[in-house]
Amino acid sequence: MILITGSSGQLGSYLVESIPNSIGLDRKESQYTKIIWDIRKEIDSALRDYEIDTIIHAAAQVSVLKSVEDPKIDAENNIIGTINLLEYARKHDVKYFIYISSAAVYGEPRYLPIDEAHLTAPKSPYGLSKLTGERYALLYHELYGLKVASVRPFNIFSPRQDPNSPYSGVISIFVDRAKKGEPLIIYGDGEQTRDFVNVEDVVQLIKLLQKDKPTGIYNCGTEKETSINELAKIIKNISGKDLEIVHLPPREGDIRRSYASIEKARSIGYKPTTNLKRDIERYFFTRNKKGGV
Ligand code: UD1
Protein backbone atom coordinates (compact mmCIF):
# COMPACT_ATOMS: atom_id res chain seq x y z
CA MET A 1 0.00 0.00 0.00
CA ILE A 2 1.13 3.55 -0.75
CA LEU A 3 0.93 6.13 2.01
CA ILE A 4 0.37 9.71 0.87
CA THR A 5 0.91 12.32 3.56
CA GLY A 6 -0.62 15.76 3.15
CA SER A 7 -3.65 14.21 1.46
CA SER A 8 -5.92 17.16 2.27
CA GLY A 9 -3.49 19.54 0.60
CA GLN A 10 -3.14 20.71 -2.98
CA LEU A 11 -0.76 18.06 -4.31
CA GLY A 12 -1.62 15.23 -1.90
CA SER A 13 -5.31 15.27 -2.83
CA TYR A 14 -4.49 14.81 -6.52
CA LEU A 15 -2.06 12.02 -5.66
CA VAL A 16 -4.68 10.09 -3.68
CA GLU A 17 -7.10 10.50 -6.58
CA SER A 18 -4.72 9.23 -9.22
CA ILE A 19 -2.61 6.56 -7.49
CA PRO A 20 -4.34 3.22 -7.01
CA ASN A 21 -3.89 1.38 -3.73
CA SER A 22 -3.00 4.59 -1.90
CA ILE A 23 -4.14 5.86 1.45
CA GLY A 24 -4.17 9.48 2.58
CA LEU A 25 -2.93 10.83 5.90
CA ASP A 26 -3.37 14.42 7.00
CA ARG A 27 -3.97 16.47 10.10
CA LYS A 28 -6.99 18.02 8.40
CA GLU A 29 -10.11 16.18 7.34
CA SER A 30 -11.07 15.93 3.68
CA GLN A 31 -12.58 13.44 1.26
CA TYR A 32 -9.05 12.34 0.30
CA THR A 33 -7.88 11.63 3.84
CA LYS A 34 -8.45 8.34 5.63
CA ILE A 35 -6.05 8.74 8.55
CA ILE A 36 -6.23 11.92 10.58
CA TRP A 37 -2.82 12.33 12.18
CA ASP A 38 -0.29 15.02 13.00
CA ILE A 39 3.12 13.95 11.68
CA ARG A 40 4.87 15.85 14.47
CA LYS A 41 3.95 12.84 16.61
CA GLU A 42 5.56 9.42 16.07
CA ILE A 43 3.67 7.61 13.39
CA ASP A 44 3.66 3.90 14.28
CA SER A 45 0.36 3.80 16.10
CA ALA A 46 -1.47 5.57 13.26
CA LEU A 47 -0.37 2.98 10.71
CA ARG A 48 -0.75 -0.16 12.80
CA ASP A 49 -3.45 -1.61 10.54
CA TYR A 50 -1.63 -1.03 7.26
CA GLU A 51 1.21 -2.55 5.34
CA ILE A 52 3.00 0.33 3.68
CA ASP A 53 5.63 -0.29 1.01
CA THR A 54 5.89 3.23 -0.43
CA ILE A 55 5.59 6.64 1.21
CA ILE A 56 4.95 9.82 -0.75
CA HIS A 57 5.60 12.57 1.75
CA ALA A 58 3.75 15.71 0.70
CA ALA A 59 2.66 16.92 4.16
CA ALA A 60 4.37 20.16 5.08
CA GLN A 61 4.08 23.64 6.43
CA VAL A 62 4.03 25.23 2.95
CA SER A 63 4.05 28.93 3.59
CA VAL A 64 7.24 30.97 3.25
CA LEU A 65 5.66 33.88 5.13
CA LYS A 66 4.51 31.72 8.01
CA SER A 67 7.96 30.16 8.25
CA VAL A 68 9.43 33.60 8.81
CA GLU A 69 6.82 34.43 11.46
CA ASP A 70 7.18 31.10 13.25
CA PRO A 71 10.30 29.17 12.26
CA LYS A 72 9.83 26.69 15.08
CA ILE A 73 6.43 25.43 13.90
CA ASP A 74 7.83 25.29 10.38
CA ALA A 75 10.79 23.17 11.53
CA GLU A 76 8.60 20.90 13.66
CA ASN A 77 6.45 20.06 10.66
CA ASN A 78 9.03 19.96 7.90
CA ILE A 79 12.03 18.51 9.76
CA ILE A 80 10.67 16.55 12.75
CA GLY A 81 7.63 15.43 10.72
CA THR A 82 9.93 14.08 8.00
CA ILE A 83 12.16 12.32 10.53
CA ASN A 84 9.08 10.64 12.04
CA LEU A 85 8.15 9.25 8.62
CA LEU A 86 11.71 8.18 7.84
CA GLU A 87 11.92 6.37 11.17
CA TYR A 88 8.69 4.58 10.34
CA ALA A 89 10.13 3.65 6.91
CA ARG A 90 13.33 2.31 8.49
CA LYS A 91 11.56 0.21 11.10
CA HIS A 92 8.87 -1.19 8.82
CA ASP A 93 10.96 -2.03 5.79
CA VAL A 94 9.35 0.52 3.45
CA LYS A 95 10.70 0.03 -0.07
CA TYR A 96 10.51 3.51 -1.53
CA PHE A 97 10.25 7.04 -0.13
CA ILE A 98 9.32 10.01 -2.32
CA TYR A 99 9.97 13.32 -0.61
CA ILE A 100 8.24 16.43 -1.91
CA SER A 101 10.85 19.15 -1.62
CA SER A 102 10.69 22.63 -3.18
CA ALA A 103 12.49 24.93 -5.60
CA ALA A 104 12.84 27.17 -2.53
CA VAL A 105 15.95 25.16 -1.58
CA TYR A 106 17.92 26.97 -4.33
CA GLY A 107 17.47 30.54 -3.09
CA GLU A 108 18.60 33.22 -5.54
CA PRO A 109 19.47 31.53 -8.86
CA ARG A 110 23.16 31.76 -9.83
CA TYR A 111 22.43 30.59 -13.39
CA LEU A 112 19.45 29.54 -15.51
CA PRO A 113 17.83 27.16 -16.06
CA ILE A 114 18.32 25.86 -12.52
CA ASP A 115 19.47 22.24 -12.54
CA GLU A 116 19.64 19.86 -9.59
CA ALA A 117 23.39 20.46 -9.17
CA HIS A 118 22.74 24.16 -8.52
CA LEU A 119 23.94 25.49 -5.18
CA THR A 120 21.33 25.27 -2.41
CA ALA A 121 21.18 28.52 -0.43
CA PRO A 122 17.62 28.94 0.88
CA LYS A 123 16.42 32.45 1.65
CA SER A 124 13.73 31.49 4.18
CA PRO A 125 13.23 29.12 7.11
CA TYR A 126 10.80 27.27 4.81
CA GLY A 127 13.49 26.69 2.16
CA LEU A 128 15.92 25.58 4.84
CA SER A 129 13.47 23.19 6.51
CA LYS A 130 12.52 21.62 3.17
CA LEU A 131 16.20 21.22 2.31
CA THR A 132 16.92 19.68 5.72
CA GLY A 133 14.06 17.19 5.32
CA GLU A 134 15.45 16.27 1.92
CA ARG A 135 18.97 15.78 3.33
CA TYR A 136 17.60 13.54 6.09
CA ALA A 137 15.79 11.43 3.52
CA LEU A 138 18.96 11.07 1.43
CA LEU A 139 20.92 10.27 4.58
CA TYR A 140 18.54 7.40 5.28
CA HIS A 141 19.47 6.12 1.85
CA GLU A 142 23.17 6.26 2.78
CA LEU A 143 22.72 4.80 6.26
CA TYR A 144 19.96 2.25 5.77
CA GLY A 145 19.66 1.72 2.01
CA LEU A 146 16.15 3.21 1.86
CA LYS A 147 15.47 4.13 -1.78
CA VAL A 148 14.70 7.84 -1.83
CA ALA A 149 13.65 10.28 -4.54
CA SER A 150 13.24 13.96 -3.86
CA VAL A 151 11.04 16.09 -6.11
CA ARG A 152 11.66 19.82 -6.29
CA PRO A 153 8.55 21.41 -7.78
CA PHE A 154 8.73 24.98 -9.09
CA ASN A 155 5.51 27.06 -8.95
CA ILE A 156 2.65 24.52 -8.77
CA PHE A 157 -0.85 25.70 -9.66
CA SER A 158 -4.23 24.01 -9.49
CA PRO A 159 -7.81 24.92 -8.65
CA ARG A 160 -7.30 23.45 -5.19
CA GLN A 161 -5.16 26.30 -3.91
CA ASP A 162 -7.16 28.52 -1.57
CA PRO A 163 -7.11 32.05 -3.04
CA ASN A 164 -8.24 33.52 0.27
CA SER A 165 -5.15 32.39 2.09
CA PRO A 166 -2.59 35.20 2.39
CA TYR A 167 -0.01 32.55 1.46
CA SER A 168 -1.60 31.63 -1.85
CA GLY A 169 0.26 31.64 -5.17
CA VAL A 170 0.02 34.44 -7.70
CA ILE A 171 -2.19 32.51 -10.16
CA SER A 172 -4.96 31.79 -7.62
CA ILE A 173 -4.79 35.37 -6.36
CA PHE A 174 -5.00 36.92 -9.85
CA VAL A 175 -7.86 34.60 -10.88
CA ASP A 176 -9.81 35.39 -7.72
CA ARG A 177 -9.39 39.13 -8.19
CA ALA A 178 -10.23 38.88 -11.89
CA LYS A 179 -13.49 37.12 -11.10
CA LYS A 180 -14.43 39.85 -8.64
CA GLY A 181 -13.42 42.56 -11.16
CA GLU A 182 -10.72 43.81 -8.80
CA PRO A 183 -7.38 45.21 -9.99
CA LEU A 184 -4.46 42.79 -10.37
CA ILE A 185 -1.62 43.87 -8.12
CA ILE A 186 1.89 43.34 -9.40
CA TYR A 187 4.79 43.70 -6.99
CA GLY A 188 7.64 45.52 -8.72
CA ASP A 189 7.96 46.00 -12.47
CA GLY A 190 6.40 42.59 -13.24
CA GLU A 191 9.38 41.45 -15.30
CA GLN A 192 10.24 38.80 -12.67
CA THR A 193 9.65 35.30 -14.07
CA ARG A 194 8.52 31.92 -12.73
CA ASP A 195 8.19 28.37 -14.01
CA PHE A 196 4.49 27.61 -13.52
CA VAL A 197 3.74 23.90 -13.57
CA ASN A 198 0.26 22.40 -13.39
CA VAL A 199 -0.39 19.87 -10.64
CA GLU A 200 -0.98 17.11 -13.21
CA ASP A 201 2.64 17.33 -14.36
CA VAL A 202 3.84 16.94 -10.79
CA VAL A 203 1.62 13.86 -10.44
CA GLN A 204 3.02 12.58 -13.76
CA LEU A 205 6.62 12.80 -12.50
CA ILE A 206 5.78 11.12 -9.20
CA LYS A 207 4.10 8.24 -11.00
CA LEU A 208 7.15 7.80 -13.23
CA LEU A 209 9.39 7.69 -10.16
CA GLN A 210 7.16 5.08 -8.60
CA LYS A 211 7.59 2.91 -11.67
CA ASP A 212 11.42 2.94 -11.86
CA LYS A 213 12.17 3.70 -8.18
CA PRO A 214 15.40 5.63 -8.78
CA THR A 215 17.24 7.33 -5.92
CA GLY A 216 18.03 11.00 -6.56
CA ILE A 217 16.79 14.55 -6.83
CA TYR A 218 14.39 15.64 -9.60
CA ASN A 219 13.30 19.15 -10.52
CA CYS A 220 9.70 19.40 -11.59
CA GLY A 221 8.78 22.29 -13.86
CA THR A 222 8.33 23.04 -17.54
CA GLU A 223 11.66 24.67 -18.49
CA LYS A 224 9.66 27.75 -19.56
CA GLU A 225 9.62 31.10 -17.82
CA THR A 226 6.66 33.45 -17.74
CA SER A 227 6.81 36.99 -16.44
CA ILE A 228 4.20 38.24 -13.99
CA ASN A 229 3.26 40.91 -16.55
CA GLU A 230 2.54 38.18 -19.13
CA LEU A 231 0.57 36.21 -16.55
CA ALA A 232 -1.55 39.26 -15.68
CA LYS A 233 -2.25 39.80 -19.39
CA ILE A 234 -3.29 36.16 -19.90
CA ILE A 235 -5.70 36.24 -16.96
CA LYS A 236 -7.10 39.64 -17.94
CA ASN A 237 -7.79 38.35 -21.47
CA ILE A 238 -9.44 35.13 -20.28
CA SER A 239 -11.65 37.06 -17.85
CA GLY A 240 -12.83 39.32 -20.68
CA LYS A 241 -12.95 42.22 -18.19
CA ASP A 242 -11.28 45.58 -18.43
CA LEU A 243 -9.22 44.95 -15.30
CA GLU A 244 -6.88 47.53 -13.91
CA ILE A 245 -3.26 46.44 -13.40
CA VAL A 246 -1.60 48.17 -10.46
CA HIS A 247 2.11 48.10 -9.64
CA LEU A 248 3.24 48.21 -6.01
CA PRO A 249 6.81 48.20 -4.64
CA PRO A 250 8.61 44.84 -5.05
CA ARG A 251 8.25 42.16 -2.38
CA GLU A 252 11.22 41.93 -0.10
CA GLY A 253 13.42 38.94 -0.98
CA ASP A 254 11.58 38.27 -4.25
CA ILE A 255 13.58 36.19 -6.72
CA ARG A 256 14.03 37.87 -10.11
CA ARG A 257 14.04 34.99 -12.60
CA SER A 258 13.40 31.31 -12.04
CA TYR A 259 12.92 28.29 -14.24
CA ALA A 260 13.87 24.66 -14.04
CA SER A 261 16.13 22.46 -16.06
CA ILE A 262 14.11 19.26 -16.40
CA GLU A 263 16.63 17.12 -18.26
CA LYS A 264 16.85 14.67 -15.39
CA ALA A 265 13.08 14.22 -15.16
CA ARG A 266 12.97 13.84 -18.96
CA SER A 267 15.46 10.98 -18.70
CA ILE A 268 12.82 8.90 -16.91
CA GLY A 269 10.11 9.80 -19.41
CA TYR A 270 8.67 13.05 -18.01
CA LYS A 271 6.98 15.26 -20.62
CA PRO A 272 5.40 18.40 -19.21
CA THR A 273 1.94 19.15 -20.56
CA THR A 274 1.39 22.51 -18.88
CA ASN A 275 -0.10 25.17 -21.13
CA LEU A 276 -0.66 28.24 -19.02
CA LYS A 277 -3.52 29.81 -20.97
CA ARG A 278 -5.40 26.56 -21.57
CA ASP A 279 -4.92 25.34 -17.99
CA ILE A 280 -6.00 28.60 -16.38
CA GLU A 281 -9.10 28.53 -18.57
CA ARG A 282 -10.03 24.95 -17.78
CA TYR A 283 -9.04 25.03 -14.09
CA PHE A 284 -10.68 28.29 -13.16
CA PHE A 285 -13.05 29.54 -15.83
CA THR A 286 -15.04 26.48 -16.86
CA ARG A 287 -18.13 25.22 -15.09
CA ASN A 288 -16.43 22.01 -13.96
CA LYS A 289 -13.66 23.44 -11.81
CA LYS A 290 -12.44 20.11 -10.61
CA GLY A 291 -9.52 20.08 -13.03
CA GLY A 292 -9.34 16.34 -12.49
CA VAL A 293 -6.22 14.38 -13.31
C1 UD1 B 1 6.80 30.14 -4.68
C2 UD1 B 1 6.07 29.34 -3.64
C3 UD1 B 1 6.94 29.06 -2.47
C4 UD1 B 1 8.21 28.41 -2.94
C5 UD1 B 1 8.89 29.24 -4.01
C6 UD1 B 1 10.04 28.48 -4.58
C7 UD1 B 1 3.68 29.71 -3.64
C8 UD1 B 1 2.56 30.44 -3.01
N9 UD1 B 1 4.89 30.05 -3.19
O10 UD1 B 1 7.09 31.44 -4.22
O11 UD1 B 1 6.28 28.20 -1.58
O12 UD1 B 1 9.06 28.32 -1.88
O13 UD1 B 1 7.98 29.49 -5.06
O14 UD1 B 1 10.80 29.25 -5.44
O15 UD1 B 1 3.52 28.89 -4.51
N16 UD1 B 1 3.08 38.42 -7.12
C17 UD1 B 1 2.47 39.57 -7.57
N18 UD1 B 1 1.19 39.83 -7.14
C19 UD1 B 1 0.49 39.00 -6.28
C20 UD1 B 1 1.14 37.84 -5.83
C21 UD1 B 1 2.43 37.57 -6.26
O22 UD1 B 1 3.04 40.35 -8.32
O23 UD1 B 1 -0.66 39.31 -5.96
C24 UD1 B 1 4.43 38.11 -7.62
C25 UD1 B 1 5.45 37.88 -6.52
O26 UD1 B 1 6.02 39.08 -6.11
C27 UD1 B 1 6.44 36.96 -7.23
C28 UD1 B 1 5.58 36.18 -8.20
O29 UD1 B 1 4.38 36.89 -8.32
O30 UD1 B 1 7.39 37.70 -7.95
C31 UD1 B 1 5.27 34.76 -7.71
O32 UD1 B 1 4.79 34.84 -6.39
P33 UD1 B 1 4.20 33.57 -5.59
O34 UD1 B 1 3.13 32.93 -6.37
O35 UD1 B 1 3.90 34.03 -4.23
O36 UD1 B 1 5.38 32.53 -5.61
P37 UD1 B 1 6.96 32.63 -5.25
O38 UD1 B 1 7.27 33.88 -4.56
O39 UD1 B 1 7.70 32.33 -6.50
How far is CA 41 from each of CA 14, 141, 142, 274, 279, rounded to the nearest angstrom?
A: 25, 22, 25, 37, 38
Assign 3-class secondary structure to 235-266: HHHHHCCCCCEEEECCCCCCCCCCCECCHHHH
Residue 288: pLDDT band by 50, 70, 90 thresholds? low
Confirm or reject: Cβ of 178 under 6 Å from ligand 1: no
Residue 207 lies in a domain: yes
Tens digit of each residue's pLDDT (9 = 90 or more) over 180-225: 999 999 999 999 999 999 999 999 999 999 999 999 999 999 999 9
Q: How does the average pLDDT of the chain come out, rounded?
A: 95
d(CA 262, CA 238): 29
116, 264 in Cβ contact below 8 A? Answer: yes
**Does the model's pTM come out above 0.75?**
yes
Tens digit of each residue's pLDDT (9 = 90 or more) over 102-154: 999 999 999 999 999 999 999 999 999 999 999 999 999 999 999 999 999 99
Q: State the residue range of the domain holding 113.
A: 2-285
Question: In degrees, to the nearest 5, what angle opens at C-alpha 77 toward C-alphas 75 and 83?
Answer: 90
186, 248 in Cβ contact below 8 A? Answer: yes
Residue 292 lies in a domain: no
Phi, psi angle pair for 65, to nearest 5°? -60, -45
Q: What single string gives the DSSP state of each residue in 88-106?
A: HHHHTT-SEEEEE--GGGS
Confirm or reject: Cβ of 102 under 6 Å from ligand 1: yes
24, 32 in Cβ contact below 8 A? Answer: yes
Predicted local confidence at residue 8, as pLDDT: 96
Residue 291 lies in a domain: no
Q: What is the CATH number of the domain that holds 70?
A: 3.40.50.720
Number of domain units in the chain: 1
For the chain, list the strands marked E by DSSP: 2-5, 22-26, 35-36, 54-57, 96-100, 147-153, 155-157, 184-187, 193-194, 196-198, 216-220, 226-227, 245-248
CA of 170 to the centre of ligand 1 (A): 6
Residue 219 is classified by DSSP as E
Ligand 1 mutation pick, 155, 173, 247, max ligand atoms within 8 A of CB: 155
d(CA 114, CA 130): 17
CA of 211 to the centre of ligand 1 (A): 32
Q: Radius of gyration of the chain from Cα atoms?
A: 19
Residue 91 lies in a domain: yes
